[in-house]
Structure 1
Amino acid sequence: MQSVSVGGALLTVGGVAGYVVGITAPYPGRAFSLTALMVGLTLVAVGRAGDGEDER
Protein backbone atom coordinates (compact mmCIF):
# COMPACT_ATOMS: atom_id res chain seq x y z
CA MET A 1 0.00 0.00 0.00
CA GLN A 2 3.04 2.26 0.05
CA SER A 3 2.61 3.14 -3.62
CA VAL A 4 -1.00 4.21 -3.03
CA SER A 5 0.09 6.60 -0.28
CA VAL A 6 2.92 8.03 -2.37
CA GLY A 7 0.64 8.48 -5.39
CA GLY A 8 -1.95 10.15 -3.20
CA ALA A 9 0.65 12.49 -1.73
CA LEU A 10 1.87 13.47 -5.19
CA LEU A 11 -1.68 14.06 -6.37
CA THR A 12 -2.39 16.16 -3.29
CA VAL A 13 0.70 18.31 -3.84
CA GLY A 14 -0.23 18.75 -7.49
CA GLY A 15 -3.77 19.71 -6.55
CA VAL A 16 -2.60 22.31 -4.05
CA ALA A 17 -0.14 23.73 -6.59
CA GLY A 18 -2.86 23.90 -9.23
CA TYR A 19 -5.19 25.64 -6.80
CA VAL A 20 -2.58 28.25 -5.89
CA VAL A 21 -1.82 28.92 -9.56
CA GLY A 22 -5.57 29.12 -10.25
CA ILE A 23 -5.97 31.81 -7.61
CA THR A 24 -3.32 34.02 -9.19
CA ALA A 25 -4.06 33.35 -12.87
CA PRO A 26 -7.34 31.76 -13.98
CA TYR A 27 -6.86 28.95 -16.50
CA PRO A 28 -9.21 26.46 -18.17
CA GLY A 29 -9.75 23.33 -16.12
CA ARG A 30 -8.59 24.78 -12.81
CA ALA A 31 -11.52 23.12 -11.02
CA PHE A 32 -9.77 19.80 -11.57
CA SER A 33 -7.16 20.91 -9.02
CA LEU A 34 -9.80 20.55 -6.30
CA THR A 35 -10.71 17.11 -7.63
CA ALA A 36 -7.04 16.11 -7.57
CA LEU A 37 -6.78 17.37 -4.01
CA MET A 38 -9.79 15.35 -2.83
CA VAL A 39 -8.73 12.18 -4.64
CA GLY A 40 -5.17 12.56 -3.38
CA LEU A 41 -6.26 12.89 0.23
CA THR A 42 -8.51 9.86 -0.16
CA LEU A 43 -5.66 7.78 -1.59
CA VAL A 44 -3.37 8.82 1.26
CA ALA A 45 -6.01 7.72 3.78
CA VAL A 46 -6.61 4.41 1.98
CA GLY A 47 -2.89 3.74 1.72
CA ARG A 48 -2.32 4.43 5.39
CA ALA A 49 -5.28 2.30 6.47
CA GLY A 50 -3.75 -0.73 4.76
CA ASP A 51 -0.46 -0.41 6.66
CA GLY A 52 -1.76 -2.02 9.84
CA GLU A 53 -3.35 -5.08 8.27
CA ASP A 54 -1.80 -8.52 8.49
CA GLU A 55 -1.23 -10.03 5.05
CA ARG A 56 -1.61 -13.80 4.83
Structure 2
Amino acid sequence: MNPSLAAGAALTVAGVVGYLVGVVEPYPGRAFSVTAVMVGVTLLAIGRGGEPA
Protein backbone atom coordinates (compact mmCIF):
# COMPACT_ATOMS: atom_id res chain seq x y z
CA MET A 1 0.00 0.00 0.00
CA ASN A 2 1.18 3.49 -0.83
CA PRO A 3 2.45 5.29 2.32
CA SER A 4 0.81 8.58 1.32
CA LEU A 5 -2.50 6.83 0.80
CA ALA A 6 -2.30 5.09 4.18
CA ALA A 7 -1.28 8.27 6.02
CA GLY A 8 -4.04 10.21 4.29
CA ALA A 9 -6.68 7.68 5.22
CA ALA A 10 -5.51 7.59 8.84
CA LEU A 11 -5.41 11.38 9.17
CA THR A 12 -8.81 11.79 7.55
CA VAL A 13 -10.45 9.26 9.85
CA ALA A 14 -8.72 10.69 12.93
CA GLY A 15 -9.72 14.22 11.94
CA VAL A 16 -13.37 13.30 11.41
CA VAL A 17 -13.50 11.45 14.73
CA GLY A 18 -11.83 14.40 16.47
CA TYR A 19 -14.31 16.79 14.90
CA LEU A 20 -17.30 14.69 15.97
CA VAL A 21 -15.96 14.44 19.53
CA GLY A 22 -15.42 18.21 19.51
CA VAL A 23 -19.04 18.79 18.49
CA VAL A 24 -20.29 16.69 21.42
CA GLU A 25 -17.76 17.91 24.00
CA PRO A 26 -15.63 20.98 23.21
CA TYR A 27 -11.96 20.51 24.07
CA PRO A 28 -8.85 22.66 23.63
CA GLY A 29 -7.21 22.21 20.26
CA ARG A 30 -10.25 20.78 18.50
CA ALA A 31 -9.61 23.04 15.52
CA PHE A 32 -6.64 20.82 14.66
CA SER A 33 -9.12 18.13 13.65
CA VAL A 34 -10.14 20.27 10.67
CA THR A 35 -6.47 20.64 9.75
CA ALA A 36 -6.03 16.87 10.00
CA VAL A 37 -8.94 16.35 7.61
CA MET A 38 -7.51 18.84 5.09
CA VAL A 39 -4.03 17.29 5.20
CA GLY A 40 -5.51 13.79 5.09
CA VAL A 41 -7.58 14.53 1.99
CA THR A 42 -4.52 16.05 0.32
CA LEU A 43 -2.43 12.97 1.08
CA LEU A 44 -5.23 10.74 -0.20
CA ALA A 45 -5.21 12.64 -3.49
CA ILE A 46 -1.41 12.36 -3.74
CA GLY A 47 -1.49 8.67 -2.89
CA ARG A 48 -4.14 7.90 -5.50
CA GLY A 49 -2.37 9.98 -8.16
CA GLY A 50 -0.22 7.18 -9.50
CA GLU A 51 2.93 7.29 -11.58
CA PRO A 52 3.31 9.90 -14.33
CA ALA A 53 3.11 8.41 -17.82
TM-score, structure 1 normalization: 0.87
User: Which consecutive aligned stretches of 4+ in structure 1 deviate over 6 angstroms post-superposition?
Assistant: none
Mind listing any 5+ residue stretches in structure 2 that lack a counterpart? none
1:10-53: CA deviations, max 9, x gaps?
A: 0000000000000000000000000000000000001111x2x2
Partner of 2:2: 2
Q: Distance in 2 between matches of 1:47 and 1:24?
A: 32
What is the aligned length?
Answer: 52
Provide the C-alpha distance between the structure 1 equivalents of 2:7 and 2:34, rounded to a whole number of angstroms: 16
Aligned Cα RMSD in Å?
1.3
- Structure 1: give runs of 5+ residues left out of the alignment: none
Q: Percent identity?
A: 60
For normalisation by structure 2, the TM-score amounts to 0.92
